[in-house]
Structure 1
Amino acid sequence: MEILIAEDMLLLLLDDESGKLTLTSYPQTVLGGALLVELAATGAVEVEEKTGLWRSAKVRAVAGAAPADPVLRAAYDVIGEPPRTAQDLVERLGKGTRDALADRLAGRGLVERRDDRVLGLFPRTRWPAVDSTHEQDVRRRLTAVLVQGVEPDERTGALVALLSAIDKPHKVVDHAGLSAGEVRKRAKAIAQGDWAAKAVRDAIAASTAAITAVAATTAAAGAASS
């Protein structure tokens, strides 16, 4: 079974040594967006045209196109009928996904599960790296695209767009010779490019818009409580 885009994204979000999530405070949304993009790439869902500037694009499952992969199948079943907005879906798709994906990565021997308690009271689960070979390959491909100017393939382009949505592309590559701002600018341009099929581009646009909206809401809530 091939590694999903969402699994690659989770590897990038996990600190290799501590096994803790980094880079984003809303991993559920990001992983949900990654699943939505993969469903579009496999032809399992379609993103409908937006009906207004301020309306989120709607997504519907394609009848008879349920994926064989169990994680994608579960996401496909969540979408169901009637069509839902992308902003609603990235939250729904991402719910509980982190641990399911991490368990799969552990089964592949890429990370290991460590359960302990903070201060001896609060349970937590961490996922430190065991074999970083695959993650290093993902980072090399991201570096080739973001730093060396290589044209992205569909999978790498999707990762770049998702990282751009959380404003972190410069955090996952060695950008010697380029500033963080230049890497972020390159990532934004790629996210808006035409390197993928229309169905995938539409899903990426809908997912990243939804992630950005959640990020803005989270930031506003944090500012209001401070």
Structure 2
Amino acid sequence: MDLLLAEDLMLLLLDDETGAVRQTHLRPLLGGAVLADLALGGAVDVEEKRGFWHTARVHPVAGRRPADPVLAAAYDEVAAKPRSAQDLVNRIGKPLKDDLTERLVERGLVRREEHRVLGLFPTTRWPAEDAAHEQEVRRRLGDLLVRGLTPDPRTVALVALLSAVDLTHKVVDREGLPGAEVRKRGKKLVEQMDDGEWAAKAVRDAVAAITAAAATAAVAGGAAAASG
């Protein structure tokens, strides 16, 4: 089954039993995954940075609008106006939680359950219905992060997205490896991606944008806690 990077990521972020989402920086993370998919498919590119004060902009590649509706909507967002990856990951990511979970329901991978918190406040959760694809994704991640097998661009991009929010050690069977070692291996793979010829610049910029968004949210949360 061929899923988007963002769909694979969403499966990893959903608790299989409770159906709750295990990530706070969801919007930039999912937006970054879609931007990475566009980049890996050759649908977008990033201009070269021309100086310290110049912010590199993401541009659509003419004639490469994807057929997939989620990717097509993201492509149109890129095409609407030249923007930085950090701006785009939040714009693209805004509707994705609902869009992606609905797609996963339609594929029969999760099911929708309606609940009420304290018997009053409605909430929706998405526990696993068929975990076979998610298990295959975790196996591929384990091949890279635990067993050290030869990486492929798509799985390395997924590792980079997970590493941006410090989740690499939580999505694989570590087979006795310490979590710190798995995290270290994930970061090393990201560094190799930065040096590699295969990695589209938009993928690297998307990951950097997610990291920046997560750091900004953490600083804002810390400031709010301190003021409270």
Normalized against structure 1, the TM-score is what? 0.93
1:155 deviates by 1.4
> What SS class does the counterpart of residue 175 from structure 1 fall into?
coil
Equivalence for 2:96: 97
1:5 deviates by 0.6
1:151 deviates by 1.8
In 2, Cα distance between equivalents of 1:37 and 1:186 = 21
Equivalence for 1:160: 159
Equivalence for 1:147: 146
- Pairing 1:2-81 to 2, within 5 Å after superposition: 2-22=2-22, 24-52=23-51, 56-81=55-80
Q: Deviations over 1:17-42 (max 9, x none)?
A: 111101x2111111000000100111
- The answer to whether the aligner puts 1:171 opposite 2:163 as a matched pair is no
In 1, Cα distance between equivalents of 2:83 and 2:198 = 16
Distance 1:194 1:29, change over 3 A: closer
Equivalence for 1:133: 132
> What SS class does the counterpart of residue 220 from structure 2 fall into?
helix
Equivalence for 2:201: 202
1:150 deviates by 0.9
Distance 1:113 1:70, change over 3 A: same
1:107 deviates by 0.8
Equivalence for 1:120: 119
1:199 deviates by 6.7
- The answer to whether the aligner puts 1:189 opposite 2:188 as a matched pair is yes
1:14 aligned partner, one-letter code: L
1:146 aligned partner, one-letter code: L
> What SS class does the counterpart of residue 20 from structure 2 fall into?
coil
1:95 deviates by 0.6
After the TM superposition, which parts of structure 1 deviate over 3 Å for at least 4 consecutive aligned residues? 51-57, 194-201
1:117 deviates by 2.1
> What SS class does the counterpart of residue 84 from structure 1 fall into?
coil
Q: Deviations over 1:164-206 (max 9, x none)?
A: 1001100001112321111111101111214997474312210
1:142 deviates by 0.4
The answer as to whether partners of 1:37 and 1:200 remain within 8 angstroms in 2 is no
Distance 1:86 1:152, change over 3 A: same
1:55 deviates by 5.7
Distance 1:149 1:123, change over 3 A: same
2:32 aligned partner, one-letter code: G
The answer as to whether partners of 2:160 and 2:207 remain within 8 angstroms in 1 is yes
Distance 1:56 1:133, change over 3 A: farther
**Which residues of structure 2 form unaligned runs of 5+?**
none
In 2, Cα distance between equivalents of 1:170 and 1:103 = 27
**Which residues of structure 1 form unaligned runs of 5+?**
none
2:13 aligned partner, one-letter code: L
In 1, Cα distance between equivalents of 2:181 and 2:126 = 31
Equivalence for 1:86: 85
The answer as to whether partners of 2:19 and 2:125 remain within 8 angstroms in 1 is yes
> What SS class does the counterpart of residue 192 from structure 1 fall into?
helix
1:82 deviates by 2.8
In 2, Cα distance between equivalents of 1:170 and 1:98 = 23
Normalized against structure 2, the TM-score is what? 0.92
